[in-house]
Amino acid sequence: MGTHFPMTRPINDTLLRALLRQPTDTTPVWIMRQAGRYLPEYNQTRARAGSFLALCRNPNLATEVTLQPLARFPLDAAILFSDILVLPDAMGLGLYFVEGEGPKFERPLREEWEIRDLSAPDPDNHLRYVLDAVAQIRRALDNQVPLIGFSGSPFTLACYMIEGEASRDFRWVKSMLYGRPDLLHRILEVNTQAVTRYLRAQIESGAQAIMLFDTWGGILSSPAYREFSLAYMQRVLQELPREWDGHIVPRIVFTKGGGLWLEAIADCGCDAVGVDWTVELDSAKQRIGHRVALQGNLDPGVLLSNPDTVVREVARTLAAFGPGHGHVFNLGHGITQWTPPENVAALVSAVHRESRRYHNPG
């Protein structure tokens, strides 16, 4: 195991160092959904694949689109091209996409027997195409920058599995949470095991850092967040190997809308906490910066403006974190499909240029 990738560090390891709050010369930057519809070359490859799911299921094409943003911009990390919903798909829920409407499941979890029947898939078997993509991307990267693997959080996956599609009100999830919490806990148990196995398999295939996307934890009350989302992410992180191939595998946890709970999130076993743009980085740093790194948090809407504005907002974000290590620059959520690529170029170069001053000793 692990023999394909002997104990080498990427040539550019600023991401891994920043996640562990070690010194770097600049602030590393990557962008959530950096491979995606704002890039014409992505749309071309997706058209060649036939559909988004076909693209995810083809390791050659998944590798190609993973590398596309890195060919354009000097980003400090690659992120596996896939989707959080391929895991429930491997659990038999039947993922499909309706053009213009987003992801849906053929068999959402509504009946008690469906929930009792649910089980965690074997990633080596049912998610082989993802693991093959991870290994192939690592080979293609040739240790230039580290590769981030990811999964949805147990709770965020449960939201899609129960609603059967994107939701605004989460009526099925909330009615189960308050009416039959035992059933929701049963789903979360299975998801926890599924996510743990899936992330471990990604690490063993070559992922050098991992991220839990808890996109919907922020819809919960504070006590419900701890009970139904955070507790299960903590269990995933407890079960994952801390090191692989002689290197620590840093963990990022991102709860969108989790600004109220930063202290609790910082205690869940992660190395870095992702923050959205509603949080000020200076106050987040004061609250938890002595324990974990911070990742974020430019409003993706800034990228809909112009390069000068982007540079100004980048400088403001870097200044909010201020001097010192342990900041990974990112957006506060995924990049939108209407982003002009030249604004991304301005963002990446501004982060590298403007951040030097905050890393100089003395």
Residues that bind ligand 1CP (CB under 6 A): 32-37, 46, 52, 79, 81, 83-85, 102-103, 150, 166, 213, 215, 334
Q: What minimum distance in Å lies between the beta carbon of 37 and ligand 1CP?
A: 5
Contact 113, 154 (CB under 8 A): no
d(CA 144, CA 10): 5
Q: What minimum distance in Å lies between the beta carbon of 84 and ligand 1CP?
A: 4
From 17, 33, 200, 251, active-site residue: 33
Nearer to ligand 1CP (CB atom), residue 307 or residue 334: 334
From 46, 72, 107, 353, active-site residue: 46
Q: What minimum distance in Å lies between the beta carbon of 198 and ligand 1CP?
A: 13
Q: What minimum distance in Å lies between the beta carbon of 31 and ligand 1CP?
A: 7
- The strand pairing partners of 78, in sequence order, are 147
Nearer to ligand 1CP (CB atom), residue 21 or residue 75: 75
Contact 284, 316 (CB under 8 A): no
C-alpha closest to that of 296 among 274, 316, 280, 313: 274
From 38, 42, 160, 232, active-site residue: 160
Contact 233, 187 (CB under 8 A): no
Nearer to ligand 1CP (CB atom), residue 289 or residue 351: 351
Q: Is 160 a catalytic residue?
A: yes
Specify the amino acid at residue 314: V
- The strand pairing partners of 103, in sequence order, are 97
Q: Is 299 a catalytic residue?
A: no
- Residue 5 exposed, middle or buried by CB count within 10 Å (0-12, 13-18, 19+): middle
Q: Is 42 a catalytic residue?
A: no
When CB distances to ligand 1CP are compared, the closest residue is 166
Nearer to ligand 1CP (CB atom), residue 181 or residue 334: 334
Instruction: Extract the tokens encoding 128.
Output: 């082989």
Beta-carbon count within 10 A of 325 CB: 18
Q: What minimum distance in Å lies between the beta carbon of 40 and ligand 1CP?
A: 13
Nearer to ligand 1CP (CB atom), residue 32 or residue 90: 32
Q: Is 226 a catalytic residue?
A: no
d(CA 167, CA 127): 26
Nearer to ligand 1CP (CB atom), residue 52 or residue 172: 52
Contact 71, 34 (CB under 8 A): no
Strand segments, DSSP code E, in 14-86 are 78-79
Q: What minimum distance in Å lies between the beta carbon of 282 and ligand 1CP?
A: 25
From 37, 128, 186, 226, active-site residue: 37
Hey, is 167 helix, strand or coil? coil
Q: Is 198 a catalytic residue?
A: no
Catalytic center residues: 33, 37, 46, 83, 160
